[in-house]
A = this chain, B = another copy of it.
Amino acid sequence: MPDERPPRYIDGVRSAIAAEMEADPDVVLIGVDVGEGGGVFGATRGLHERFGAERVIDTPIAEAGVLGAAVGAAMAGLRPVAEIMYMDFVSVCLDPIVNQAAKLRYMTGGGARIPLVFRTQTGGGRSSGAQHSQSLEGMLAHVPGLKVFLPSDPRDVHDLLRAAIRDDGPVVFVENRRLYNRRPADGPWEPLPPGRARVVRPGDDVTVIAWGRMVEEVARACDEQLTDVGVELIDLRTLVPLDLETLERSVRRTGRALVVHEATADFGPGAEIATRLSERLLYEIEGPIRRLGAVAAPTPYSPPLEALALPGPEAIAAAVRGLLED
């Protein structure tokens, strides 16, 4: 009996890859356990059977080599989707991302084309420990030449992943494992291209900017604790390109803004957004643009500590109320 419910976030990942593999024989999938095993979260289940081992390539644990090979394959005409199983593991394969993929087009004066997706996932809050919990998108957004997509919505993950695969440059695609089982909310769906933020719920008092799992955490805070506040919730969707226009339009109206992310707050991506908004809107805002991110500590394992380390509905609600008092 076919499942009639709308596809989950993880299904959106799978169907996006499948659709692009169907459409273009140069699209290949590569990574540790992406093939026969179907991925540690099942995101690529069935693709190996459907497209064969030549296009869905299981690799040994040699991520630096695998990603380097993906760069070479991209320059030689394939469109690889290379998986980094946990975002924390960029630590073992940063060079092909940062010094090769990101720079080759520029260094060659436009001569190289690097159609390459680095698919990875993050997702704190489930005691995965300090080496399996990091949101490192800020590091990568800092590197010119990379795009960084971070879908929050089960439908959007499909749209954005397809756009990433079709992009002729390198895209870091950050899924959130705690969203894998989410199904979309009811209602119409209007696809947006990368580089366009989405106003998830409109509001007039405060703008809250988030991505990944934090979008639903903010929504939860609104529903449970901020029913008296007109929060405009914006799902940023892509950090690079950054849709400052949408953010600015909203903050110009609300006068207050909070950026919420799972990444460590210190020297994190929220600082860039806050700075850009402050630069543009200093005389229009009614209080500082604030950030809420993980505390400045490695991610603790113990559940109560980790709950304190990461932004949750309480902390978000408190931060929003704090804005109103600024």
Contact = CB atoms under 8 A, between A and B. Distances in A.
A269 interface: yes
Contact of A91 (B94, B138, B271): B94
A245 to B, nearest CB: 16
Contacts of A95: 91-92
A288 interface: yes
B99 A267 contact: no
A302 to B, nearest CB: 10
Given A282-B287, A290-B279, A106 B297 contact: yes
Contacts of A99: 88, 91, 130-131
Given A138-B142, A141-B266, A288 B282 contact: yes
A268 interface: yes
Given A91-B94, A91-B95, A288 B298 contact: no
Contacts of A287: 282
A296 interface: yes
B142 A268 contact: yes
A92 B91 CA distance: 8
Contacts of A268: 142, 272
A130 B142 contact: no
Nearest to A91: B95
Interface string A285-313: 10111110001111011000000000000
Interface residues of A, number: 55
Contacts of A8: none
A132 to B, nearest CB: 10
Contacts of A139: 139, 142
Q: Among A98, A141, A296, find the residue whose CB has the most chain B CB atoms closer than 10 A.
A: A98
A274 interface: yes
Nearest to A268: B142
Interface in A107-152: 107, 129-131, 136, 138-139, 141-145
Interface of A: 64, 88, 90-92, 94-95, 97-99, 102-103, 106-107, 129-131, 136, 138-139, 141-145, 239-240, 263-264, 266-272, 274-275, 278-280, 282, 285, 287-291, 295-298, 300-301, 326
Given A91-B99, A136-B142, A282-B326, 19 more contacts: A88-B99, A90-B94, A92-B95, A99-B130, A102-B298, A138-B267, A139-B139, A141-B267, A142-B264, A142-B266, A144-B264, A145-B297, A145-B298, A267-B269, A267-B271, A268-B272, A271-B272, A282-B285, A282-B288
The 3 closest A-B pairs by CB, nearest first: A91-B95, A271-B271, A142-B267
